[in-house]
Amino acid sequence: MAATLTPPSGEAPASKKKDRTHWLYISVLIAVGLGIAVGLVFPEVGKALKPLGTGFVNLIKMMIAPVIFCTIVLGIGSVRKASQVGKVGSIALVYFLTMSTLALAIGLLVGNIIHPGEGLRITPEVAEKGAGAVTSEKLTTAEFLLHIIPTTLFSALTTEVVLQTLLVALLVGFALQAMGKSGEPVLKGIGHLQKLVFRILSMIMWLAPVGAFGAIAAVVGATGVAALKALAILMFGFYTACALFVFVILGSLLWVVARINIFSLFRYLGREFLLIVATSSSESALPRLIAKMEHIGVSRSTVGVVVPTGYSFNLDGTAIYLTMASLFIAAAMGDPLTVGEQISLLVFMMIASKGAAGVTGAGLATLAGGLASHRPELIDGVGLIVGIDRFMSEARAVTNFAGNAIATLVIGTWTRSVDHDQVALVLRGGDPFNEETMVDDGHGTEVEDREPELATAQR
């Protein structure tokens, strides 16, 4: 089995990442089990462990502003790069926006049908604690808009008002776009800053077992079996929403546009799906997806634009996760989101999640940021998600990967850059992918690194 999951020699880094993630995954599972046991057997002890979960959530909150700033600025940079390679990039961006909206809609639909978190009601002490996070009086529309403007450009990076961070990130991103070539050194510097931020975030995530233990023990101690039932309903709903989106929406689109059976495509990508499940990250399969899409018959120029950009902008699984997690937290804390709040919150999350694909902990940071921007009193509820986040990460990563594979074939068909005879040959097994000769010939490089080649290839 190990041999099956081990990538070729050109993908050694993904192999190392698998081992680390594997141990973190096991640790979280053990911590969740211990937390449940403590909460059921010693309820008062479980309640006393709540600071462990709160401390972990506070560490995640600490990373919200830098994560959102870096991902938004670099995300806007990706739009610029994609738009520079012509027709394919423009179609891809419209497609990604449409699919993200549909994914959010599916998450909202399923969430509002099953009502995850309803009946859990952990409000008393949380509501009291959350009261300090918001002003006692409601802001008028004018006051709310003025509140979004930070005192200084840089104070937005240290504030707890996430919408201020978002505003500054958008301004910086579009300013760098307008600067063209002269802005590239700054963009590259922010790219290095993002690597630092995500490295810190990955270090924090190694405390996830401690946070999961404290959060689960406290919730189970306070509510008993009701907590386990609510978390199980959330996971079931999330998996259902992902399956509906992939097999019904994406599967139908793939057949209507490209006349390709989704099950045949997934069989061809079976090894990549195994790799993603082993690492809980779709990033681990990025080089192989590029190589396999080229092998199946999509032109190299189309693959080079769609796949890297999709890994930043086409996060269907993440969109569904953020939707359902937000609904769950609000309902569990006895303060459900109204329809208007759901839409505005998810529009924010759709923007804020761009560029953070495959980074351990980025989903939690984005979730916390969205709640902090719209309903600060609910942010402590993120601790409820910590314990089961790892259970949902595989489905999230697999959905993101499936969405980008299908997007490549659909957009390639629309732009007439797919050899459908080669597709048919590959999918029926007539031209198998050669695992032994696959090397990293620039697969997985960012759009900006491949720009000269892509610009030349586009007509």
Residue 375 lies in a domain: yes
Q: What is the CATH number of the domain that holds 363?
A: 1.10.3860
- The pLDDT tens digits of the residues spanning 297-346 come to 998 878 877 887 787 778 888 888 888 888 888 887 777 777 777 877 77
pLDDT at 278: 65
* Cα–Cα distance measured from residue 114 to residue 116, given in angstroms and rounded to the nearest whole number: 6
Residue 57 lies in a domain: yes
Q: Please tell me the total count of domains within the chain.
A: 1
Which of 17-21, 23-27, 257-261, 282-286 is least confident? 17-21
* Cα–Cα distance measured from residue 315 to residue 396, given in angstroms and rounded to the nearest whole number: 9
Residues 6+ apart with CB under 8 A from 257: 410, 413, 414
Residue 2 lies in a domain: no
| CA 146 centroid distance within chain | 30
Q: Which residue in the block uniquely carries the two structure tokens 């709040």?
A: 341
Residue 83 lies in a domain: yes
CA atoms within 13 A on the CB side of 386: 40
Considering 57-71, 154-168, 187-201, the range whose residues carry the highest mean pLDDT is: 187-201
Distances, alpha carbon 135 to alpha carbons 144, 148, 343, in Å: 12, 15, 23
Phi, psi of 312 (to 5 degrees): -100, -30
Residue 96 lies in a domain: yes
Residue 1 lies in a domain: no
* Residue 446 pLDDT > 50: no
- Which residue range forms the structural domain that includes residue 282? 8-457
Residue 3 lies in a domain: no
| Closest by CA position to 305, among listed 451, 109, 406, 114 | 451
- The pLDDT tens digits of the residues spanning 364-381 come to 777 777 777 777 777 777
Residue 165 lies in a domain: yes
Higher pLDDT pick, 149 / 133? 149
Higher pLDDT pick, 247 / 180? 247
pLDDT > 90 fraction of the chain, expressed in percent and rounded: 13
